[in-house]
Chain A
Amino acid sequence: MLSPHEAKRYRQTTAFAYRMILPSLALILVFIGYPLLYSISISFKEYKYGVPTGRIIWFKNFLDILTKSTVAPYFYRSLLVTMKFTVVAVVAVVVISLGIALLINERFRGSGLVKLALLMPYAIPGAVNAVVWNWIYDPSFGVLNGLLYKLGIIDEYFTLTGNPDYALWAIVFAYVWKFVPYSTFLFSAGLATMPESVYDAARMDRCGTIRTFVKITLPLLMPVLQMIMVLQTIFALVMHFGLVFVLTGGGPGDATRTLAWYVYQQSFTFTRFGRGSAMAIILALTMIVFIYLYLVVLDPERRLERQRRSV
């Protein structure tokens, strides 16, 4: 137990600490906490044309989303699209960035240049990224069409984003392009913590290159890999919004209508704020699951402590 003197000190320090944190907390509570709560309250109300009708309908919005025949099928379809997108995008990002990270860890003369080049997709604002890829995919004059045509792979220009079968993958590709560098740097940092002597020992133990990767690098990289996968999932659920906005507008049909996009549509195209909020909350809940996975289960802070100590 603490002596009265120690307890007083503790209380003073705590009070001081809270005072320092207060401005930040306040900002976050006001601009994020409050809207979040408000969002929940909106989802319990009925809105028409962006204005509340005054009726509180509690969970009807949610029920509509899940069961009403004019909404539910589209909702479930958006979940499917979201899942398709997320799985492919996350796997692609992780695999590609791991490969690039292995490359830049080889400490050769050009690695600085490669790192600089990797910063470019990272630095480009999402909107500009969308616009650039829109231009690349352009069905009349885009360079993708142009290249394929020149190489003789296709006979005439085609539309990528107007094709329901290809549209989603077009978005995936543009998304992956922008988000690979971030993961690459994280992987690169993780790879750098691998003890060099373990690799020497593996060589002496007659371990082939591929075998070394599978049996040594991957297991040791597992904590980092898990972190990155979960983090990328969290990003992929939402960060594709700009791309959909510019490239496909959710279409053609509903080929690229992810949950995030559907929320936008419900809220601002159909002006059904109530329903839109309800969907937004479902989306947020999904993300909270992954956020919990990331921050609590995987706990990056404690992991890097353990890693720092063991190396």
Chain B
Amino acid sequence: MAFLRLESITKRFPGCLAVDHLNLEVEQGEFVVLLGPSGCGKTTTLRIIAGLETQTEGRVILEDVDISDVPPERRDMAMIFQNLALYPHMTVFNNIAFYLQNIGTPKPDIQEKVVEAARRVKIEELLDRRPDQLSGGQGQRVALAKALVRSPKVFLLDEPLSSLDAKLRAGMRSELKLLHKSLREEGKGGRGTFIYVTHDQVEALTLGTRVAIINEGSIEQLASSTDLYRKPKNLFVATFVGSPSMNLIEGTLERSDKEAMFRFQGKRVGVGPRGFVALTRARCETMPAILGVRPESVNVVSRGEPGSLDAMVSTIQPLGETNLIMLLLGEVTLTSLASPDLPVKEGEKISIRFQPESLHFFDPETSENLLGDEL
């Protein structure tokens, strides 16, 4: 059985349904990220796991024991809050030691454990300082040390990096990853079971072993980063993950001879075997669909190549390694990522092709990926 399980967790506040029958299974040692836009219920879910909020329905099960009614201090979980929540009137040492003091650990043991935890996150020299004397990054580490010192079964992190600047964030990300790895290897701290909440997809995709995309209180898809990118289950996941986001074109998928074609705004383009699969699964000859293609799969080709479409370059934004090209295809706007060496100019008429292996089709009504399990 899974280490931590959420069974049909629902949370209703007066006037809104924050979490909607959410199910989640987490194995020991996993780094699960709850990713989603603001207000989608991810923080609420985290707090329910911690016990700081009580769910309206559903159960929280840890190691096969129902802990839904257990108070937060007994769940053996450590939480790092978005604003750190360090005790402003205590020294760093006392902040870290607080938990141990509360459970009555003898003083010499406290000393030992606190110093060890501090060493792990490299803040040994800061032990005598107070929270208001620390920088953002330093405060972060203190919060981490607080959690580490107690070797909890689960680490809960609520957007811990959101208050740091971009450079610090990147640094902390890799440190967190290393921390997770070492905890797994040592078998300590629930073997490094992390549940992490964020709205930043770069964080989510780089840190998580598995990522749950959450929208309006329920999980849209739970998968590894690569799977989320390459095999999005529905429109929400497809557009949320990936920056710049996926291009979407509304149109009709139809079978013509032995080929699958996509018709939109008076144009037709072959969409290869994937289009075929979609049609076969739906057992139709023709159906309305939304074509999804990521910018890096929109390629500029030589003028007039067979199977290409005519487009006009609208703007070119240099990004350094690549150029972001906005194209006008009739009335449809597409983004394409291309090498800066490509000799195109703004206003120029060019031809483009979609890479057939990277195409997705979504049902306009259900938003589901029509390719289903064959992704």
Contact = CB atoms under 8 A, between A and B. Distances in A.
Q: Do A and B bind each other?
A: yes
B73 to A, nearest CB: 4
B77 A205 contact: no
Contact of A204 (B79, B88, B132): B79
Interface stretch (B96-104, B185-193, B247-255): B96-104
B85 A195 contact: yes
Contacts of A205: 73, 98-99, 102, 146
B87 A216 contact: yes
Interface in A187-207: 195, 197-198, 200-207
Nearest to A208: B102
Contact of B89 (A201, A202, A206, A220): A220
Nearest to B47: A200
Contacts of A198: 85, 87-88
Contacts of B86: 201
Given A205-B102, A206-B102, A310-B132, A200 B73 contact: no
Given A197-B81, A211-B102, A310-B132, A204 B87 contact: no
Tell me whether chain A's interface is mostly helix, strand or loop, or mixed: helix
A189 to B, nearest CB: 19
Interface in B57-112: 71-74, 77-79, 81-83, 85-89, 98-99, 102-103
Contacts of A219: 89
Interface residues of B, number: 24
B332 interface: no
B52 interface: yes
Nearest to A205: B99
Interface in A165-211: 195, 197-198, 200-208, 211
B50 interface: yes
A310 B73 CA distance: 27
B102 A207 contact: yes
Nearest to B143: A201
- Highest count of chain B CB atoms <10 Å: which of A198, A204, A211, A220: A204
Q: Which size bracket describes the interface of A in this complex?
A: 10 to 19
B79 A201 contact: yes
Contacts of B52: 200, 203-204
A204 B102 contact: no
Contacts of A202: 87, 98
A198 B78 CA distance: 14
A201 B71 CA distance: 13
Contacts of B72: 203-204
Contacts of A195: 83, 85
A198 B131 CA distance: 13
Contact of B103 (A201, A204, A206, A216): A206
Contact of A203 (B73, B82, B88, B132): B73
Contacts of B103: 206
Contact of B77 (A197, A201, A204, A207): A204
A200 B85 contact: yes
B88 A310 contact: yes
A218 to B, nearest CB: 10
Interface string B129-153: 0001000000000000010000000
A296 to B, nearest CB: 23
B79 A200 contact: yes
Contact of A201 (B51, B74, B81, B132): B81
Contacts of A203: 51-52, 71-73
A207 B98 contact: yes
Given A205-B102, A220-B88, 13 more contacts: A195-B85, A197-B82, A198-B85, A201-B81, A201-B87, A203-B51, A203-B71, A204-B52, A204-B78, A204-B79, A205-B99, A206-B74, A211-B102
Which are the 9 A-B pairs with shortest beta-carbon distances? A201-B85, A206-B73, A197-B85, A205-B99, A219-B89, A206-B102, A204-B79, A197-B81, A203-B72
29 contacts: A195-B83, A195-B85, A197-B81, A197-B82, A197-B83, A197-B85, A198-B87, A200-B52, A200-B79, A200-B81, A200-B85, A201-B87, A202-B87, A203-B51, A203-B72, A203-B73, A204-B73, A204-B77, A204-B78, A205-B98, A205-B99, A206-B74, A206-B102, A207-B73, A207-B98, A207-B102, A211-B102, A216-B87, A220-B88
